Amino acid sequence: MKSFLAIILCFLSIAGLQYFSIRFRVSAYGATLDPVSYAPFTFQRQNIKQEAKTFQIVNEWKYIDFEYPTFVERQLAIMNGDFNPKNNLPLGIDVYRNRLFITTPRWKDGVPASLVTVPYPTKEISPPVRPYPNWQAHSSPYNPDCSKLISVYRTTVDAQCNRLWMIDSGIVNATISLNQICPPKIVAFDLNTDEMVVRYELPPSQVKQDSLHSNIVVDVRNGNCLDAHALVTDVWRFGIVVYSLEKNRSWRVTNYNFAPNPVASDFNVYGLNFQWLDGVFGMSLTEDRRLYFHPMASFKEFMVSVDLLLNESLWTNGTVDTSKLFIAVGDRGFNGQSSTSGIARNGVMFYTQVHRDNVGCWDTAKPYTRANLGSLLDADADNSTMLIQFPNDLKVDHKEKQGVWVMSNRLPIYLYSQLDYGDINFRILRADVEDIIANSVCNPISESANNNKFALVSIEEGQCY
């Protein structure tokens, strides 16, 4: 009887009850949207309790406004279509000292710059953003200068050497008609001087048709700022490009674990149903140089030694079978899709839960079992999950008292429906690492769930249990 009830509950959790559905079909050459009628989405704002040990709102916006040199220049930019506030969506988040860095990719027209900054802390909850490092560093997509920034997706801070690294996709209008106007490139700025110190275009042989390079992490060896390697994900063609700063050369790594799982490519959020065939996406580095990664369309986490990725001959000679160098760590379960992740100095990984509007955690010293995976927002508490609505990016900062930062941006509504610009659409949130996990299974001082007596059952990826 119990097994029968479990099957029924599992079926209901998968099927769900949808009051609205929109079908999105993806192919290698484009995307189509089944014609249905829909209205702008409106979330009723409620009083959100910000208790001591939860995420706190740092900034929030109804729409993103830019800080132009003069009001007249802003109005002219709006009139000629260079700036359309409704088309600007914040995607990536980073923090260093007294500044936040935010990416605004050129998914649609009217995005004047794709990397911006705001002061931290700021006197305003919804400040206008300022192009980083300045307006001159960004090229117009209509007459592109490929030496400048085109469309930045995500960034990473190399705190040892005070550098901000990024992957510039070189792509505009990716959601409408993908247009690769410049080669993708890896760029780094010196955060002390705000000068560009690295600009490396990926070789044509490492860029596939419809590649989309969207995430980056950096490994620096023993404080040697020249001995640095950037790892960049190709989310649509399922690879990782490794770039050596010292050699000024890159190579492409491929593995079947980089591919999406078709079952996990079906998303149902906010009454929208769409399919994202996103491969390797989230990456996080440990201090002992293990790389944890996962495709976005997947429920699983994987791991590989960074030393193996940095061994160029393994990936260029083709004489060694590298397929088994990657290890499947564990499974997050149904609706366990995640975009990005980060690991704190105490060994705790934080990761987005895009299907659940939540942030997950895992103590990497414990087995990757579902009993050892925690969620940091209480879904049963009043209004707690109103804080985060589609957590898209996540970073762990480098401060002495570390914080975990989340970008919440309602991306599916921006892409497939219509945002309500009378409501708060975008939020940057922060929590102290130690405080947010204090009462969770992710706290390193908590015993592993495997130390208790459990009946262990072998299940396949995404199954109910």
Specify which residues 273 forms β-bridges with.
268
pLDDT at 262 over 60: yes
**Cis peptide before 444, with omega less than 30 degrees from 0?**
no
How far from chain centre, in Å, is Cα 320? 32
> Between these two residues, 380 and 338, which has the higher pLDDT value?
338
The pair of three-digit structure tokens given for residue 200, joined into one six-digit string: 């490396």
Q: Structural domain tally of the chain?
A: 1
Establish if 389 belongs to a structural domain. yes
Establish if 61 belongs to a structural domain. yes
Tell me which of 15-29, 162-176, 217-231, 331-345 is least confident. 15-29
Tell me which of 7-16, 64-73, 337-346 is least confident. 7-16
Establish if 56 belongs to a structural domain. yes
Least Cα distance to 174 among 147, 210, 138 occurs for 210
Query: What average pLDDT does range 177-192 have in this prediction?
Result: 93
Query: What average pLDDT does range 362-379 have in this prediction?
Result: 92
Burial degree of 283 (CB within 10 A; 0-12, 13-18, 19+)? buried
Give the pLDDT confidence score for residue 456 in this predicted structure.
35
CATH code of residue 255: 2.120.10.30
Tens digit of each residue's pLDDT (9 = 90 or more) over 103-160: 999 999 999 999 999 999 988 999 999 999 999 999 999 999 999 999 999 999 999 9
Give the pLDDT confidence score for residue 177 in this predicted structure.
73
Rounded Cα gap, residues 251 and 133, in angstroms:
29
Establish if 112 belongs to a structural domain. yes
Establish if 352 belongs to a structural domain. yes
Domain carrying residue 360: 19-451
Tens digit of each residue's pLDDT (9 = 90 or more) over 113-123: 999 999 999 88
pLDDT at 455 over 90: no
Kind plus residue range of the DSSP H or E element containing 76 = helix 71-79
Establish if 463 belongs to a structural domain. no
Tell me which of 2-16, 29-43, 70-84 is least confident. 29-43
Q: How far is CA 447 from CA 344, 371, 396, 441, in A?
A: 19, 11, 24, 8
CB-CB contact of 163 with 190 (8 Å): yes
> Could you give the 3-state DSSP secondary structure of residue 80?
coil
Establish if 65 belongs to a structural domain. yes
Give the pLDDT confidence score for residue 378 in this predicted structure.
76
> Between these two residues, 5 and 131, which has the higher pLDDT value?
131
43: pLDDT confidence band, cut at 50, 70 and 90? very low
pLDDT at 4 over 80: no
Tens digit of each residue's pLDDT (9 = 90 or more) over 191-218: 999 999 999 999 999 999 889 999 999 9
pTM of the predicted structure, to 2 decimals: 0.85
Establish if 6 belongs to a structural domain. no
pLDDT at 331 over 50: yes
Give the pLDDT confidence score for residue 380 in this predicted structure.
57
CB-CB contact of 94 with 107 (8 Å): no
